Amino acid sequence: MEHSAVYRRALAPVMTFCGAVGIAGGILGDDLPLHTAHGFVLFWAAVAAVVLCGSFLMVRRQALKDAEPFWSPPTRRVTRALLPGLVVGAGAGAWLMYQNPYWAACAYLVPVWCILFGLALHSAGFFMPRGLKLFGWIFMAAGGLLLVLLGGHLLNPNLVALIFQPHWLMGLTFGGLPLTYGIYLYFTEKRRPTS
């Protein structure tokens, strides 16, 4: 039970940070002249690097504050569970950059990334509290819903890019969902009694 409280305490600020950076990335990406597959993938790879570095520093600070080792066996298990989905997602982005450099194709990459990230979270959830697995399912459902919505517009890729702005989709999914989850964790976290 104590480990569950520790995970929630560490996960709430990380998810809130990830959500805030994701939303900022969606807004900034739409304002910048990044309307090619190369620009889109490289921009979101940079956003992901900022999120990973920031999350790493936040978790490291929490570990130091609680006098716990950072690279503990549970941390290694969670990292190994996340890696396959993240690596395949990076590969999908690289494939899009070199095989289909058109802006309209980026809208189809967003649900693929959502599904792969959801699978990664679900895998990591086996080593963390139940909520992370559910959060992974929410990401997979969002990706599936986006694929269904995009599937009706397969014949006109320019219409897809116009209606489903890829940067906004990324901001809503990779920003809005983690921010909502982080806020939920803050409000449902059981506070330690003060004496």
Across 15-19, 99-103, 172-176, least confident range: 99-103
The pTM assigned to this predicted structure is 0.82
Across 81-90, 153-162, 168-177, 178-187, least confident range: 153-162
Q: Please report which confidence band the pLDDT of residue 123 belongs to, taking 50, 70 and 90 as the band edges.
A: confident
Percent of the chain with pLDDT over 70: 83
Sign of the CA dihedral with 136 first, then 137, 143, and 146 last: negative
Inform me whether the pLDDT recorded for 46 exceeds 90.
yes
Inform me whether the pLDDT recorded for 193 exceeds 60.
no
Across 30-39, 47-56, 60-69, 84-93, least confident range: 60-69
pLDDT in tens, 142-168: 999 888 887 765 556 666 666 678 888
